[in-house]
Amino acid sequence: MDNGKNVTARIPQPIAGPKYYMTASEVATMDFVRSVVQIPASRVLAWSADANNPVRSEYIVMEEATGEKLEDVWDDFSLERRIAVMKELVFLQKKTGLHIFQEVWPYGNLYFASEEIPGTVAAEVTGDMLADVRSAVMRRFAIGPVTDRAYWHKERAEMDIDRGPWKYPRDYAVSLAHCHALLLQRYLKVAPYLLPADNSVVASHLWHTDLHAANIFVKDGRISSIIDWQGTWAITFDTPSPPPATGGIAKEVSVLDKAVRVNHGRTRCDPIRFVGDTWEDDILPLRESLIGVEKYWNELGVDIPCPIHFTDEELRFHEEDGEGWNDAQDFWDSVSMIISRDGWMPNKPYEEVRLNCSRN
């Protein structure tokens, strides 16, 4: 820029999801976490969720994140510095957990109320904040349709399906199945009972679901910026994607600690995680998860008999059908330390891995 400062321009990728909703929601979310939750996020300088502009695309222009990527300096940090960064990260997660969206229509993406997106409702939050701040949040922000790719991929973008916002967690849990319910009747029968009844666990929180080292910037040993708020939405912590802070450090965030300790958490969450994959005919993981639900139904604390059943013949077919699929999962597990399943890997080991692959 003319003043010597750098900015970052962000244009949505075509395959990422609905460009208008994703752009509008990301800008509102960054504003919310920076001004309300007090999490270090870049200030948006200009944006447009409408491609009818000189750029001919939706865009966001924001301040450049200060500091260095955590993944680039982590190996150089002393143990004390690493602990300090992790404590700060947990503190930021705790701040997010203190802002709970109210019980009426709490699940969905954040938007500016001024966008007047159909179906949105006022974003009413609870937590340790002044009444005038809470009132300002209700005036400025709204919760509306989710931008999650599972609801917009391929032909789903043209379909009239339920994309929220949702009043109850069970409504979210069954939403992905309604548009092809004939294939998923078993899932629909158990979906209302999968998420726990504890309101403190299923309360709606704003949750950054991609909080890895490449999205965290540090300066002088402190977190200076958190980036990539695209797709962040208000949802229960007890969801299929693992939270960024788990295990021992999760104890510092009470609601997160409760979520990771939910009885049979994976049994409950895997069906919700896999139900969207059936669009690509990858039915096996969902079937596997539903078999697990039937197996552990009596331990889930539900006071009705299990509404689904798999016969011995179905279980035998599933075992045979899963042999090749399990081989593929074993491969991805074997390379998980250097590359993720979507093909992403850190910059540092790239050249070494590329050379090793070329030799093989």
Which two three-digit tokens encode residue 204?
A: 């709606």
Model's pTM, two decimal places? 0.62
Q: What is the DSSP letter of 218?
A: E
The whole-number pLDDT of residue 172 equals 82
The amino acid sitting at 70 is: L
Burial of 337 (0-12, 13-18, 19+ CB in 10 A): exposed
Given a contact cutoff of 8 angstroms between Cβ atoms, the answer to whether 318 and 290 are in contact is no
> Which residues pair with residue 60 across a beta bridge?
10, 47
Strand order in the sheet with 68-69: 68-69, 216-219, 222-226
Instruction: Report how far Cα 152 is from the mean position of its chain's Cα atoms.
Output: 15
Neighbour tally for 172: CB within 10 Å: 25
Q: Could you tell me which of 106, 13, 108, 3 has the C-alpha nearest to residue 58?
A: 13
Distance CA 210, CA 333 (A): 20
299-353: pLDDT as tens digits? 998 999 999 998 888 888 788 767 666 666 666 666 665 666 555 666 666 676 6
Distance CA 353, CA 242 (A): 27
The whole-number pLDDT of residue 61 equals 96
Q: Could you tell me which of 94, 89, 95 has the C-alpha nearest to residue 215?
A: 89
The whole-number pLDDT of residue 241 equals 46
Distance CA 116, CA 319 (A): 50
How is 280-309 classified by DSSP, letter by letter? GT--HHHHHHHHHHHHHGGGTT-SS--S--
Given a contact cutoff of 8 angstroms between Cβ atoms, the answer to whether 226 and 92 are in contact is yes
The verdict on whether omega for the bond into residue 240 sits within 30 degrees of 0, i.e. cis, is no
Given a contact cutoff of 8 angstroms between Cβ atoms, the answer to whether 70 and 218 are in contact is yes
> Which residues pair with residue 61 across a beta bridge?
9, 46
Given a contact cutoff of 8 angstroms between Cβ atoms, the answer to whether 259 and 201 are in contact is yes
Which two three-digit tokens encode residue 193?
A: 């009972």
Could you tell me which residue, 265 or 70, shows the higher pLDDT? Answer: 70
Q: What's the mean pLDDT in 165-190?
A: 76
Q: What's the mean pLDDT in 286-296?
A: 91
230-287: pLDDT as tens digits? 878 777 654 544 444 444 555 666 666 676 777 888 898 888 888 877 665 567 888 8
| Number of residues assigned to the chain | 360
To which residue do tokens 């609905």 refer?
Answer: 18
* Percent above pLDDT 70 for the chain: 76
Which two three-digit tokens encode residue 233?
A: 């939405």
119-154: pLDDT as tens digits? 898 888 877 778 888 899 999 999 999 998 878 877
The whole-number pLDDT of residue 246 equals 45
